[in-house]
Amino acid sequence: MNQDPKDRILKAAIQLWAEKGYDQATMRELARRVGMNASGLYQHFAGKEAIVQHFYTELNAACRAAFDVEGPSGDVGADLERFLRLKLSRLDGHRSAATGLLREAIDPGSPLSPLHPDSDDTLRGNIDTFAAWVEHAGLATGPAALDLARGLWLLHIGVLVFWLHDTSEGAVLTDRLLQRVRNLGQVLPFLGMVPGAGGLFSLFGDLLDARRAPVEVEPARTDVDEEVDVLVIGGGPIGCLTAGFLKQQRPSTRVVVLEASDEPTYKVGESTLSGFCKALRTLGIRQEALQALFTTKNGLGFTWAGEGRHAHDAETYVLETFDETFQVERRVLDGLILARMEQLGIPVIQGARVDLRASTLRAEANVVVAGIGRSTRRFGARWVVDATGPQASIARSLGLWSDDGIAFQSHAVWAAFEGAKSLQGRIGGDPTLFPRDQYTWHLCFPQGWVWWIPQVSWADAPQRNLDRAYRRLLREGRLPDRAELEALGCPRHERLSLGLVVRSDRDDLGVARDPDEAFAEARRRMPLLDSLLEGATLVPDLGPQGPWMQRKNLRGRAREVVGDGWLAVGDAAFFVDPLISPGLTGGTATAWQAAHHLATALDGRVTAAELDGYQTFTRRLHQALELDNQLVYHSFDHPELVALVQRFQEVAARAHFLAGAAEYGAADTNVWGVLDADYAERAAHLHGLLASRARELDARVPVREQRAADHAETVRLVRGLLGDHLAANVHLTPYVRSSP
């Protein structure tokens, strides 16, 4: 006869908790131990807390069944001793797991607390059993018996805690304590004579009743399998940050994240900026963890690669670090964040494919249907958050996704290389504070740019091995050294992420048509790029179509980011361009603002109107980032324009960063200071000048035939527009000055 799947899962979970500790063990590892995928596991249990509740229920039911073989004796002390010995005998093999659960149980807000509403059935069952003993012994009846039963329950919990702390051989101290419990029956009759004793037990009863009963009880819905306050669709960094910020701002919120993929996979998006890293630290992912897994990034480098420039004579502008950030491999970053979500008690159900056609989006009555493995699950949610990235599931399904009103589109192709040489000593320009490989490098030319991102790659490490490394890293703050990693089956090596991005109105490379040919043509036109890639080889299996990945028409936005019962965050709200990494940094700002507005809405009436502030913020941020990116693209016409525009943006970003607090908050959602009125006004004037000059010149001279002299007047005008402003802010420089 096959073992019940729930019993098999429970047995494996107890063993895993004993080995790893409850807080460090993940549902993904548990799924592997029982031979299921994560989605199959979630069909049986919604999360670790649900498994613990099942453990409580089974343990107490088994103890009561064993006790009932003989039944109550009429001596309450002897009955309690026998019941406790039955329970301790069943717990004896699970002491390590029980110790981890105790840490959770003492938190009054934890679902694992014996006083939490989720534990109500177990608590009621035990107290009712104890009350029956009291009545059978003739000590009391009715409410008085219930009061004594509550006192017995408290004593029974105290004995369990004593046993967990008892390190004596054979738990001899616990045995002595149980012998004293046996004498309780002789004491209980006299308690009623003690003044105030009944009131004391009644007071504890009031506490239990208050903890069990919510202030307002709404009738349970029958059309869903699970009710939550907020359902996040998309388990990438921005979806998880939204869930994490929401739990920080409103700890009582029931939030669940649904992720379509069964485990983290390769994605583009390798460069992080300070706001995103600050957000990770705010949610408890320490800087040491990021240092251990990823390549340090200490700024941005811009090298002009037009007009046949070679590495030794290419003009370079370096925007030095605000603070230490990282070049990341997204599969690993996503896995680390998912592990942290599990530590925070935020369920992330992987392999959950949402069917919006079968779902209903309606204020206060959302029903989201998701396929999980072979089953279908229906979630009731007061709010649904679309964090599906460029897929923008809700906006596209409602016909709200648009790319109108954009000056020009962008197309991108990218690949990974191995064997690329260091940039140190191979790109000219002023000295930098750090080795040149510790920057996100931009090779700029009039049609667009090339990103050059060195990174640590864990592509050869199986997911289960990485999961073990994440847990150790999050627990100890230290990644195992190279030898330990090899023993864990986590080899690492160096890779180069390289992408080619062009303006659609200047795509004479054919990026939108043939990635291979477009990149070959870029190498022919740019000797600098060709020389830097000498000896490097393409990684053949980066994506499903081979070495190259491609996206056309990158820019887009949701015309509405808030609807009845839903809102969109990150790239599902808008996407500008890969330039200056607005995806993660801008997305983090939307995650924080969304969490803030949701927390407010959940505490009051739930209508879209209450989130108008989020809609207004998101529109402003999108417009500001679009303008900021267009400024940089226009600057690629001339190396001096690159330096002027970068310095203009750097001044605002440094002032914004220096005013920041240690924890991520509302001020950080003003990404790089782009929402400041003074900066926005100057940026609009600068954009108007660059755009009009470019249109005029492009109408007279084809882009490929333009030379530096053609842009001399534009450079002069920009110097005049920005000169006084830059001179007044010359003090906004890196913390450490470049050495000569």
Closest CA to 234 of 402, 380, 350: 350
Task: Provide the pairing of β-strand 352-360 with 348-350.
Answer: unpaired
Give the fold, CATH level 3, of 46-212.
Tetracycline Repressor; domain 2 (1.10.357)
**What confidence score (pLDDT) does residue 238 get?**
96
For the record, the structure tokens of 735 come out as 């913390």
State which amino acid sits at residue 494: E
State which amino acid sits at residue 668: D
**What confidence score (pLDDT) does residue 181 get?**
73
pLDDT digits (tens, 9 = 90+) for 205-233: 555 555 444 434 455 566 889 999 999 99
HSE value, Cβ hemisphere, 13 Å, CA-based, for 392: 24
pLDDT digits (tens, 9 = 90+) for 350-390: 999 999 999 999 877 899 999 998 889 999 999 999 999 99
Question: Looking at the chain, which residues constitute the CATH 3.50.50.60 domain(s)?
Answer: 229-728
| Residues paired with residue 205 on neighbouring β-strands, in sequence order | none
| Residues paired with residue 386 on neighbouring β-strands, in sequence order | 233, 568
Question: Looking at the chain, which residues constitute the CATH 1.10.357.10 domain(s)?
Answer: 46-212
pLDDT digits (tens, 9 = 90+) for 153-181: 778 778 777 877 877 877 778 778 878 77
More confident residue, 405 or 278: 278
- Report the SS3 class of residue 444: strand
Q: Which of 136-150, 442-456, 566-580 has the lowest mean pLDDT?
A: 136-150
**What confidence score (pLDDT) does residue 736 get?**
36
Q: How far is CA 129 from CA 72, 114, 122, 152, 282, in A?
A: 10, 16, 11, 10, 46
pLDDT digits (tens, 9 = 90+) for 671-680: 989 999 999 9
Average pLDDT over residues 170-199: 65
- Report the SS3 class of residue 412: strand
pLDDT-based confidence at residue 737 (cuts at 50, 70, 90): very low
Spell out the residues 6+ positions from residue 61 whose beta carbon is closer than 8 angstroms to its own.
125
Give the fold, CATH level 3, of 229-728.
FAD/NAD(P)-binding domain (3.50.50)
In percent, the amount of the chain with pLDDT more than 70 equals 86
More confident residue, 145 or 342: 342
DSSP string over 18-42: HHH-TTT--HHHHHHHTT--HHHHH
pLDDT-based confidence at residue 581 (cuts at 50, 70, 90): low
pLDDT-based confidence at residue 202 (cuts at 50, 70, 90): low
Q: From CA 284, how far away is CA 247, in angstroms rounded?
A: 13
C-alpha of 583 from chain center: 14
| Residues paired with residue 222 on neighbouring β-strands, in sequence order | none
pLDDT digits (tens, 9 = 90+) for 683-699: 999 999 999 999 999 99
Query: How many contiguous H segments (helices) and E segments (strands) does the chain have?
Result: 25, 19
> Is 505's pLDDT higher than 90?
yes
Angle at 301 between CA 418 and CA 279, to 5 degrees: 90
Q: From CA 391, how far away is CA 233, in angstroms rounded?
A: 11
Spell out the residues 6+ positions from residue 64 whose beta carbon is closer than 8 angstroms to its own.
125, 129
Average pLDDT over residues 467-494: 79
**What confidence score (pLDDT) does residue 99 get?**
64
The answer to whether 320 and 432 are in contact (CB under 8 A) is yes
Average pLDDT over residues 554-583: 90
> Is 570's pLDDT higher than 90?
yes
Q: From CA 576, how far away is CA 410, in angstroms rounded?
A: 9
DSSP string over 497-563: EEEEEEEGGG--S-TTT-HHHHHHHHHHH-HHHHHHTTT-EE-TTSBTTBS-EEES---EEES-SEE
**What confidence score (pLDDT) does residue 631 get?**
96
Average pLDDT over residues 430-443: 90
**What confidence score (pLDDT) does residue 267 get?**
79
Average pLDDT over residues 20-47: 71
- What global pTM score does this model have? 0.74
The residue whose two tokens read 């369990």 is 160
Average pLDDT over residues 35-49: 71
> Is 318's pLDDT higher than 60?
yes
More confident residue, 77 or 702: 702
H or E element at residue 380: strand 375-386
Angle at 158 between CA 87 and CA 141, to 5 degrees: 80
**Average per-residue pLDDT in the chain?**
84
